[in-house]
A and B are shown apart, each in its own frame.
Chain A
Amino acid sequence: METVIPKTSVVLSTLLRADFTTQWRNRRAVMLTLIVPVIILVSWKGLIPTFGGPFALSNSITIGLFASGLMGYSNTVARDRDKGIFQRLRVAPVPSWAIMASRLMVQLAMILLITTAVFIIGKDYDGITLTPIAYILTYFTAIIGGAVSLSLGQMIVGWIKNPETVNSTTRLVYLAFIIIGMFGELNQLGEAVHNAVQWSPYGTVKTILAAGMEPERWNSNASIALLAAILYTIVFATLGIKWFKWNTK
């Protein structure tokens, strides 16, 4: 009797179905990742005439992306690894990359969802509209920003094994990003901090998002930020994959 290996397409679509169902059942946690971005859009309404729409939208999307990559992605991976869910999948005739690819597709959907939600709330509540080209460009820069946040999440879950520690670490990093990112951005913490923030993962993601929203104003600063974001992704992902173990024992 010949051994039959299931088709990769069937395996992938089955994994996707399970992973999206899981995400759907966790929709309350998903809503939580949108809370801070929405607070920004609502509370910064008065700042928009001074700082401009892209300023509010880009900060809002950046926070949303880091919330999803750090708290959503890292924590589910840490939990499933700790419970042995990955090990059970891995003893099936499934290539390991397919297990991760399916998880990343869910995250891609999250990136698009966050971006769309911010666009809609920004338009309806704050009256911010962009040109069609700018909307499209922003989806692309959001995907790159999502890659930075996911690879950072991967690095944390590769480095730390205990799911509770992963949970508190990601929360801490997220909080640091909100505080330093937003206040540094508003120049509340001085020039040195402002510069450091600008070239941090938070700052580069925010810069490319803002520049994508006004393509005519895309400058060399934005291009360097784009390169930096890609570099961050490569470094974080390389370390995150290198350190990653499928089990915690």
Chain B
Amino acid sequence: MDQESTNILTVDGLNVSYGNFQAVQNVSFDVRKGEIFGLLGPNGAGKTSTLSAIEGLLKPQSGAIIVDGNNAKEKPLHARASLGVQLQSTSFQPELYVVEVLQLYAGIYGVPLSKDTLTAMLKDINLEDSATKKFGQLSGGQQQRVSLLIATIHNPRLVLLDEPTSGLDPQSRRQLWERIEAIREKGNAVLLTTHSMEEAEAVCDRIAIIDHGKVIIIDTPQAIIDKYRNDPEVISVSRRGKITLEDVFIALTGKAIRA
């Protein structure tokens, strides 16, 4: 009961396979209302596959996914209506202008958009002059802002962002972190993936370290560092005498490979 009221997403015993290859193995975690949760793992760890199962883009072999009280298997449309999504590589019809793309997604999420709202939205992401540009004509940072705006256009309770800051310059990255935090301020939750330890430490309330399709540990970044601070393995990989999340990550994923 209590769990149901605090969790916006529950993933339980998730398994995803591509043919004989099991990309996600018995992954369980939950995202609480109003938190920023990070899935942290190297390339190929199974982050995108986990998100794809939550988004309903692929059918998991087994496991339960509950989004805002809706079982994703039984009520896929309800589950998706509670989600805002930014895929790892976002693309929109290159023929459409930015305003038209916004109108398209507002429409399919059932959000009425007045001209004034549209203008205000574009202004909020500093793109008021780009309304009649095509998506492909925008810079990487601008595209990023548009696709985040689309991911949040229906004020979803949970926003999924797959490597949102990869390829951004430091300024755009900082700005995006602030926008992600603004989602939390509104009381909504964010599940993001990253392979940047710095990002995980800077914005995530809790993280799950995932490698080879398995969750290794789930906790707050600080708690994870504290827990392994005295681990000889961690100390041996640390540099300059300061233990960072990255040291723990390297030590942990190293161990997992040997195991």
Name A's B-contacting residues (CB within 8 A): 1, 3-7, 10-11, 13-15, 17-18, 21-22, 25-26, 80, 83-85, 87-95, 246-247
Contact = CB atoms under 8 A, between A and B. Distances in A.
Given A3-B70, A21-B95, A91 B81 contact: no
Given A14-B108, A90-B57, 9 more contacts: A4-B81, A5-B78, A7-B110, A11-B108, A11-B110, A13-B107, A87-B87, A91-B85, A95-B77
Contact of A21 (B55, B83, B100, B109): B100
Contacts of B105: 92
Dominant SS among interface residues on chain B: loop
A196 to B, nearest CB: 39
A87 B107 CA distance: 17
Most A CB within 10 A of own CB, among B69, B85, B105, B107: B107
Interface of B: 55-57, 68-70, 77-78, 80-83, 85, 87, 89-96, 100, 103-105, 107-110, 157
B32 to A, nearest CB: 16
A91 B85 CA distance: 7
B87 A10 contact: no
Given A18-B93, A21-B95, A91 B55 contact: yes
Contact of B92 (A25, A88, A90, A93): A88
Contacts of A87: 57, 87
B85 A93 contact: no
Given A18-B104, A92-B109, A3 B56 contact: no
29 contacts: A3-B69, A3-B70, A3-B78, A5-B81, A6-B107, A10-B107, A14-B107, A17-B103, A17-B104, A18-B104, A21-B95, A21-B100, A22-B93, A22-B95, A25-B96, A80-B93, A83-B91, A84-B89, A84-B91, A87-B57, A88-B85, A90-B57, A91-B56, A92-B109, A93-B108, A93-B109, A93-B110, A95-B77, A247-B57
B95 A93 contact: no
Given A4-B110, A6-B81, A89-B108, A14 B91 contact: no
A10 B110 contact: yes
A18 B100 contact: yes
Contacts of B104: 14-15, 17-18
Contacts of B107: 6, 10-11, 13-15, 17
Nearest to B147: A88
B93 A84 contact: no
Q: Which 8 A-B pairs have the closest CB atoms?
A: A6-B110, A14-B107, A25-B95, A93-B81, A83-B91, A91-B85, A91-B55, A18-B104
Given A18-B100, A91-B55, A91-B57, A85 B109 contact: no
A21 B96 contact: yes
Given A18-B96, A21-B96, A88 B108 contact: no
B96 A22 contact: yes
A87 B56 CA distance: 10
A13 to B, nearest CB: 8
B226 to A, nearest CB: 36
A246 B55 CA distance: 14
A192 B55 CA distance: 54
A78 to B, nearest CB: 14
Contacts of B94: 83
B87 A84 contact: yes
Contacts of A85: 91-93
Nearest to A95: B77
